[in-house]
Structure 1
């Protein structure tokens, strides 16, 4: 059994959780999320705590206990506080703009790259080189942030590209610096 699943999940005051068969509905101040659980996983809701248990008859539910616990915890945190990801555009002339429901990125390509902003994700541009993503669904937010980053992954020589704010890009020595001590 998962060590996580043994622990209770704290339920904030303004968050409501409804469990029917294999579906969970989590409603909070920021919005509502729906979560599908694997067959054989049960949710026990008390006043301010939630427990995840497996059905003893169904053995296939055991591997999904920890996953279900994490998904439920993230959903509760999302509808109560929300999630945020920050991306930095590092490079000369790199900038971002919002055009309607699209994110327009100019990151060293011959043409501007446009991405559709998914529903449930709010995009803000702070300066022209910092993108702030907010949302209640952690998985959807992470996938969109990864999609943006994939357009121009930070390169190891100058560090140019799109990266997460807290990400550290390890830089390499160039070809000239590498062979400086060698003689021909």
Structure 2
């Protein structure tokens, strides 16, 4: 029994949910998302309630059941309210700025790092050391945040680098001096 797969998805009034064979299309105020559903899984809609049903009890069908339901729910939440990730820059001289659509990061290298986000993702800079990434697709928002964090991951001795908001970095003791 899939606990996640058996949960129902409520579609808000401002979101249109369209099923066309194995293709699902969700449209709302934040954009439009499409998804191809595996043939072993079927999607049924009754009013504003969406149910994900599997065809049999095989292992592959059971694993796809919860996954498909979670992906469809993320699509509904994304086009209605959206997803947001926040990053913090920690370190002396580490700062971020928007230059048009591009994000310019000063991360202690000899050159600034320029990052161009995908067109369906919105990047905002608060102050000089906070970056907010928002969009309708949860996977894309998380991937953009991970890509920016990869430029300079937090190091364990001083904690300098790009980290997720609220992320705790385990610090190492470092060298002990002469005693």
Matched, 1:68 2:65: no
* Structure 2 SS opposite 1:4: coil
Contact preservation (8 Å) 1:39, 1:61: no
Whole-Å Cα distance in 2 between the matches of residues 167 and 72 of structure 1? Answer: 28
CA, structure 1 residues 146+66, in 2 after alignment: closer, same or farther (shift >3 Å)?
same
2:140 is matched with: 140
* Contact in 2 for aligned 1:38/1:61 (Cα 8 Å): no
Higher helix share: 1
Q: TM-score, normalised by structure 1?
A: 0.91
- Find the aligned partners of 2:59 and 2:174 in 1 and give their Cα distance: 55
Structure 2: give runs of 5+ residues left out of the alignment: none
In the TM superposition, what whole-angstrom CA distance separates every residue of 1:46-105 from its partner, at most 9, and x where no partner exists?
Answer: 122111001239874332111111111111000000111110000000011112222111
Partner of 1:46: 46
Q: Structure 1 stretch 60-69 or stretch 30-39: which is displaced more?
A: 60-69
Q: Computing the radius of gyration over CA atoms, which structure comes out larger, 1 or 2?
A: 1
Aligned to 1:95: 95
Count of residue pairs brought into register by the alignment: 179
Instruction: State the alpha-carbon separation in 1 of the partners of residues 44 and 59 from structure 2.
Output: 19
Q: Is the 8 A contact 1:78 1:136 kept in 2?
A: yes
TM-score after normalising by structure 2: 0.94
